[in-house]
Structures are given as C-alpha cells and as structure tokens.
Structure 1
Amino acid sequence: MKLTYDYQIFSLQRYGGVSRYIYELAGRIALRNEFEVSVPAFLYINQYLKNSNSRYCLGVSIPPIPKTRKIRLTINHLLSKAYFQYQIPDIVHETYYSFERSAPQKSKIVLTVHDLIHEKFNYLFPKIDKTVWMKEKAIHRADRIICVSENTRRDLLEYYDVAPEKVSVIYLASSLIPESKINRKNLSTPYILYVGERKGYKNFSRLLEAFALSKELSSELNLICFGSLPFSKEELSLLHKLGLNPERVRHVSGDEETLASWYAGAAVFVYPSLYEGFGIPPLEAMACECPVVCSRTSSIPEVVGSAAEFFDPYQPESIADALLKVLNSSDKTKDLIRLGREQVKRFSWEKCVEETCLVYQSLI
C-alpha cells in the first residue's frame, strides 16, 4: 500500500505536537512491510524530520526565514502536484488544513482533526484567520477522519455536517523519555510546573491570579513556566499588578531531556487550560511520576482519568485550593503518582499506529 503524508505541517512547524504526531506515525509505519511510506516535504523547516535522517522524506531542510511561510507552502504545493503526476499513492494523509486538494483524484484522503479551538474560541483569533475555512474544506474532502479524543469527535460532529461512521477516535501518546533518576534541579525552593503556550484559552492569567491569591503558594513555592517564548510585556505587567515577586515566577526553556528533568523535580504539575483536543503535557507529567492538578474541561479528564486533582479553570480560588490540597498531603501526592503510572499505560505510539493502520486498510 502506497501511503503519503503531505508537506503541510513540516513546512509550518519547527517543533510542535501535530508535527511530532505525524513524524511518529510515518517513522513507525515505514517499518511495516505492508506500507510504502513517503513524505514529499520538498522544503521543510521541521526539526524532527531533519534529525531523523528518514529515508522516506523527499525533501531538504531549510532555515525558518521570517515571512517566507506562504512562499514555502506555495512551492511545496506546486512540487507536490508535479510529484503526484508520476507517483499516485493509495492514501494521502493530509497533515494540516488547506483550501485545495493536492492529492490525486484516485487517492483516498485521511485527515486528523486535533481540536476545535478556532471554532469554539473564535473571539481569540484575528478576523483574517482562515483556519476554520480551510478546515471545513479539508474535512469535507476527507474519506476518513481521525479525532484524537472522544471530546474532539463530539465537537467535530457538532460543528460540521460529517457522517459519524467516517470518524474514528485514536489517542495520541507521549514521546518524552522519563528521567531515570529524580532530578530536583538543585533548587532549595519547591516548585509548581507549567508547560506550554500561555495565551488565550491556555488560561495562564487565571493561574497567576490563583498563585497570587494564596500567600502559602506565592511565598513558599516557585512557579516555573517551561516554554519556547519568554514572558511578554503584558504578562510582566500582570505579574506586577498582582504583586508577584518575579523571582518566584520564572520562565525556562530547553530540549525534551531538560523538560523531563523539570517534570521529575516538580512538586506538582498544573494544567489550567480551558480547552484541549487531547493534551500531551499531563500525559508527560504522569510518565515522569509528577502529580497532576488540572482543569475538568474538554478532553482533559478523558486523558488523565482518575489520576489527577481537578479544579474549575474559570475560578482562581478553585485552582489554588486544588494545588494546596495536593501540596499539603504526601498521601495524596503518592496516590496521584501511583494512579498516573497506571493511567499512562493506556497510551502508546504502538497502539496509535495499529489503530491508524486499520483506518488506512479500511479504505483499500
């Protein structure tokens, strides 16, 4: 079976959950005898692909030069159209959303929908954002759709006219390798760990409010924020407005090994997001034996099961109370770590690959 993953996400993301997902699928399925895998990402910026030396990648790595996104996409689209004149795959798995079909008419199309954030939180995005329009086009031309959680599947069926039998739920997994030894980062002060983007629906501002509300939290612990971007002017202004000591709220960044170390050393991991299609960080935290405190919204309870302490993400008081409940109880912490070890076993790339291959095979 000839299987192609298109260029889109590898042209858009250097790092990120969606490109990591496609990279894991392509690499693992390429090892199976029943598939001939190709990734015609002729000009790509993705670091997972660059570092893999993948024999199935038909492209070259280029630097992510600012304001060249549209140029990269246009060149890759034209080269893909030419490529598909000579190589017609049985299945094209579209890696993101686009207005126009690039796959040959004879090919079946599979699409993964990760979330409905743009539809549910449209007020957070600029009016010129075209993601929803492109997603609608991609959804309606797909022969099969994969959703990464039951919650995402429900949202998809609510917002789009899609036959339920076309939609499968296949869970993601964590690619993070847990630290073999607990590393407390040589810090004398225990810390709460936050991981990922901080804007909009990620609800970081309410987490800061919760941290400021409790003198026990803000005077006895640090809040470590792991992510690629340093604090913005708006975030620094909010820290000042809330009277938080900037030495207590710190931004850090690094590679996956560094992230695993921060998870392993945290007193607790907090996830205040208002909405997630799946939510990898809680899974990573559980894999690293870090207790999880998180929102009871969207797909998050589906991922963490009973291995977390929940809060109402719209109420800073609820966030603070949940954090203190875990931080002040060694028994509760031990229970969450134990439950997390069991919960994380439900998710693996091997299972994701097996179920995805069944979707592919059902189309041929």
Structure 2
Amino acid sequence: MRIGFDAKRAFQNRTGLGNYSRTLVTSLAEYYPEHEYVLFAPKVKPLYRPPRAAVTITPQRFLHKLLKPVWRSRWVSGELQSHGIDIFHGLSAELPFGIHRTGVASTVTMHDLIFERYPKQYNPIDVATYRKKAKYACEAAAQVIAISTQTKADLMEFYGVPEEKISVCYQACDPSFQAPRDPQTIRQALVRYNLPSEYFLYVGSVIERKNLARIAEAMFLLKDRLNVPLIVLGDGGAYKEKVKKYLAEKGLTSRVIFLNEVAKFAFRDLPALYQGALALLYPSTFEGFGIPILEALWSQTPVVTSTGSCFTETGGNAALYVDPFSVESIADGMFRVATEPALRQGMTERGLLHAERFTPEKCAAAVMQVYQNILP
C-alpha cells in the first residue's frame, strides 16, 4: 500500500495532535516497512524528522504555495491519484474536501468532539468550522478511527455515525517516556529550571475544561495541611489570568510555578519532569483520551484524574479518581497521594502494567488493521 497522510500537525504542532501524528507515522514505518508512506505538508519544519521510508510532499505550484491552507484543505484531493495514493489518512479530524470524488479510499482519526459538548468554551466561528470539517470527514471516510470508546460514543451521538463504521484505535505516547531517568538526571533537570525537589505536576493548556482553578481552590483548602507546590506546564489566556488573580488573593502565588513564564522548556526534559513529580494532577472535566495520563503512567508517576469521560479507559486501575466538579474531592485526592507512600507505590506498579495496552506497536497494528479492512 501507498499511504498518504495529512501531515500538517506532525511538522507544526508541538502538543497533542502533533505528538499523535509523529508517533503514529514513525511507528507504522518501523513495524510495517513493506508499505510506502507519503506525508502531505503545507510546510516542513525541523520539529519532525520523518522516517527514511517516508516521502514528504509540499505545495509546488505558485498559487498552491501562496494559499497553503487552501492547498491542504481542498487542492490536495486533486493530487492524490497522481502520487499513487491507495489510502489517505486524515490524522487530525479532517479530510481534504472533494476526496470523496477522487476514487482514493480514506480514513480519519477523530480525537474528540469537545467543541460539541462545550460550545460556549469556543469561538462560535471556530465551532462552525470544526463541525463542518468533522462532519464531512466522517461522511467521506470509508472508516472512522476513534481514539477512545468515549469518542466513538460521541460520534454516534452527535453525528449519527454508524457504529460499524467506527474503529477504536488507542493512541500511544512518545517512547521517550518509557525510559527511566536516573535520580541524578532528574535532579539536573530540576536545577536547570530552578524547580523544587517535591511538586505536583499539571500538563496541558490552561483552559476552563482542564480545571486548574479548582486545583488552586483545593490547594487553598490544604494550605495548613499540605505544602507541596504545583508546576504548571502549559499556557492560556483569560482563564489563566483568572487563576493567577485567585492565587494572588489567597497568597498562593509562590506555590504555583507557571514554567513557561520562567524558562524556555525543552521537550527532551519532559520525561524527567514527570518522573520527578509526586503526582500528575489531571482533574479535567472532559477529554477524548488524556495523553498526559499515559505519559505519567509510563513515567511511573501517580495520576490523580477524573471520574467519567475517557479517564478510566486511559488510567485503568492505576489512577486515583476524583470528582472534577468538587474542590473537596480534588483536595482529598491530592492529600492522599502526597501522604500515603503505599498508595503511590501501588499506583506506579499498576500504571506500568496498564500502560502496556498503549504501546506504539499496538497502536500501529490497530491502525494498520483499519487500512487492511478498507483495502483488503
């Protein structure tokens, strides 16, 4: 097979969608080298070095170079046959418009429909754009890949996608999280960023759904019982400023470190940051998968996360679950994981076992099965 990919996120996105794209393409090329892989990218950046077996296609015509977003969203369809593509995979919830008329089979990975569940947390124009792209992709694709059973249920609920058209293929995280760092390496990373030796960790955008405000309120509840600082790796806008205002009012500013504000953080240090943490705090109200949970499990870092949504899929029996709408429940989870060493030990042991369900090899195998079902 000659498999084409929408590779924009692989080259341009440093977080979730980019990590998914890079890990999947690299894993497919490693475990299934008998196939050919073609990356269609509006622009190429050093963020990603594709496998040697992969070919990268960028806009060539003057108008296509001038209007790269249009090339990616529409004009790529007209190039698929000339590049001999057997199947095209939209890695980030969209397919180029018109692909259904090309005769080229396609699949699309749908990560979540959070914009449908919480439309008020998005710009209305963005919601309309996301909806148009997602609906078209689900209609045009021969098979839809959902990254969790939660996302599968949402596709059926919001868009009426037939159950038999959806395959759940769990994602993997970057293999670097699987490699244990020795204590000295972890200490060196913490010293490099002037960080404390004991801390909770928050990884993700600072937006309402991720629930940093309630974590801050939980820290205030615990201020006389637990003195563990929080490192926040992620950025945000108005919601972040709201949280910072609360921290200032409650005298907690020194207890929360917004890492992006004090240092230019390098991704290569992220595994060490996880492995040095007392626990990952991830009481999000809703996710499609929750990749930081998996990164923490591989890092042998305890996870405090939410009941509901996809979290029990990703965290399994290894995480400590709290009510994301209850400050008291979040505070209780934080206190328990900080003060019960036996609990932490059991969580890390179960975490490694559960993480084995989400290896790059298993992820690649599940996706390859989808391709083979489409093109037997």
Q: For 1:274 and 1:201, how far apart are their aligned partners in 2?
A: 6
* Pick aligned residue for 1:126 from 123, 127, 133: 123
Whether the 8 Å CA contact 1:2–1:91 is kept in 2: the answer is yes
Q: Are 1:113 and 2:100 matched, yes or no?
A: no
Counterparts in 2 of 1:248-263, with a 5 A limit? 248-253=255-260, 254-263=265-274
Q: Does 1:302 align with 2:313?
A: yes
TM-score, L = length of structure 1: 0.88
Q: Is it true that 1:223 corresponds to 2:204 in the alignment?
A: no
Q: For residues 234-313 of structure 1, what are the structure 2 equivalents within 5 Å?
A: 234-241=242-249, 243-253=250-260, 254-313=265-324
> Which of 103-112 and 163-172 deviates more?
103-112
Alpha-carbon spacing, 1:232–1:161, altered in 2? closer, same or farther (3 Å): closer
Preserved CA contact (<8 Å) 2:212 2:243: no
Write out per-residue CA displacement over residues 271-317 of structure 1, whole angstroms, 9 at most, x where no aligned residue. 01111111111111111111111111210111111101110000111
> d(CA) in 2 for partners of 1:158 and 1:268?
34
In structure 2, relative to structure 1, the CA distance for the partners of 1:192 and 1:70 (3 Å cut) is farther
- Structure 1 residue 193, shift from structure 2 partner: 0.8
Q: Pick from 314, 319, 331: which aligns with 2:330?
A: 319
Corresponding residue to 2:211 among 203, 215, 221: 203
Residue pair 2:41, 2:57 contacting (<8 A) in 1 also = yes
Q: Contact 1:149–1:170 (CA<8 Å) still a contact in 2? A: yes
Q: 1:101 to 1:8 in 2, by over 3 A?
A: farther
Q: What's the C-alpha RMSD, in Å, of the aligned pairs? A: 2.6
Note closer, same or farther for the CA distance 1:181–1:261 as it changes in structure 2 (3 Å cut). Answer: same
For the residues of structure 2 that align with 1:8 and 1:188, how far apart are their CA atoms?
Answer: 37
How many Å separate the matches in 2 of 1:341 and 1:311? Answer: 21
Does the alignment pair 1:213 with 2:209?
Answer: no
Please list every run of 5 or more consecutive structure 2 residues that lacks an aligned counterpart in the other structure: 60-64
Query: Retained in 2: the 8 A contact 1:14–1:45?
Result: no
Tell me, in whole angstroms, the C-alpha distance in 2 between the residues paired with 1:343 and 1:279. Answer: 14
Answer yes or no: is 1:168 the counterpart of 2:164: no
- Structure 1 contact 15–46 (Cα < 8 Å) conserved: no
TM-score after normalising by structure 2: 0.86
**What CA deviation, in whole Å up to 9, does each residue of 1:76-100 have, x standing for no partner?**
4566245335224111111232572
Q: Deviations over 1:117-147 (max 9, x none)?
A: 1111111011111111221111111110111
Please, which runs of 5 or more residues in structure 1 have no aligned partner?
62-68
Find the aligned partners of 1:120 and 1:229 in 2 and give their Cα distance. 20
- Counterpart of 2:247 in 1: which secondary structure? helix
Cα distance in 1 for partners of 2:252, 2:143 equals 51
Residue of structure 1 equivalent to 2:62 = none
- Taking the aligned partners of 1:152 and 1:169, their CA distance within structure 2 comes to 9
Partner deviation per Cα, 1:234-270 (whole Å, 9 max, x = no partner): 33222223x1332210011422331111111111111
Where is the helix percentage greater, Structure 1 or Structure 2? 2
User: Is the 2:74–2:98 Cα contact (8 Å) retained in structure 1?
Assistant: no
Query: What's the counterpart of residue 190 of structure 1?
Result: 198
Partner of 1:66: none
Query: C-alpha separation between the residues in 2 aligned to 1:127 and 1:87?
Result: 37
Using the alignment, how far apart are the partners of 1:190 and 1:286 within structure 2?
A: 18
Output the amino acid matched with 2:254. Answer: E
Q: Which residue of 1 aligns with 2:54?
A: 56
Offset at residue 200 of structure 1 (A):
2.1
Amino acid in the other structure paired with 2:306: S
The answer (yes or no) to whether the contact 2:231–2:257 under 8 Å persists in 1 is yes
Aligned length: 352
3-state DSSP of counterpart to 1:277? coil
Deviations for 1:151-174, whole angstroms, at most 9, x for unmatched residues?
111111111121111111111112
- Identical counterparts, % of pairs: 29
The 3 A distance-change label for structure 1 pair 228 and 188 is closer
